[in-house]
Amino acid sequence: MRALIQRVSRASVTVNQQTISAIGKGLLILLGVGHGDDETQAQFLAEKIANLRIFEDENGKTNLSVLDVQGQALVVSQFTLYADARKGRRPSFIDAALPHVAEPLVTRFAELLNAQGVPTQTGQFGAHMHVEIHNDGPVTIWLEK
């Protein structure tokens, strides 16, 4: 399971010109599910992300987590995180889990993150989404389990 985490001042997801999810200060998490991933990886990443200290304290040091700043999370399924572009010019996505495997794990990850105390919204699995990101910093972190 791979997560690309962006610290945001706000973020939203639009499908068919309708906003389906929006958050203020917090984290936008692009989440990819690979072959062999299960709830173990989802649990690890949810706990790690909830407690990841990437927000600034009163001294400008990155000492606070999304929990500490009472932020939110927006989770967007992103199978392209498993792209392999080493050969040719067209990426291969064979390392990404099939939708019937990935969708429940993305949903479960969002539930687990919410259970950690982070109010969590999601994009729409399998839809063509427009994701608006106001990256704060910018701060972007790659995690893999």
- pTM beyond cutoff 0.75: yes
Active site residue 80: yes
Q: Can you give the residue ranges of every domain in the chain? A: 2-144
Q: Which pLDDT score is estimated for 63?
A: 97
Q: Which pLDDT score is estimated for 143?
A: 96
Active site residue 19: no
Q: Which of 19, 40, 70, 80 does the annotation list as catalytic? A: 80
Q: Which of 14, 79, 116, 121 does the annotation list as catalytic? A: 79
Report how far residue 87's alpha carbon sits from residue 25's, in angstroms, rounded to the nearest whole number. Answer: 39
DSSP per residue over the chain, as a string?
-EEEEEEEEEEEEEETTEEEEEESSEEEEEEE-BTT--HHHHHHHHHHHHH---EE-TTS-EEE-TTTTT-EEEEEE-GGGG-B-SSSSS-B-TTBPPHHHHHHHHHHHHHHHHHTT--EEE--TTS--EEEEEEEEEEEEEEE-
Q: Which CATH class is domain 2-144?
A: alpha beta
Active site residue 78: yes
Distances (CA, A) of 38 to 41, 60, 109, 112: 6, 37, 10, 13
Q: Which pLDDT score is estimated for 101?
A: 96
pLDDT digits (tens, 9 = 90+) for 109-121: 999 999 999 999 9
pLDDT confidence bin for 21, thresholds 50/70/90? very high
Q: Which of 45-49, 69-73, 86-90 has the lowest mean pLDDT?
A: 86-90
Q: Which of 14, 41, 78, 122 does the annotation list as catalytic? A: 78
Q: Which pLDDT score is estimated for 92?
A: 96
Q: Which pLDDT score is estimated for 15?
A: 98
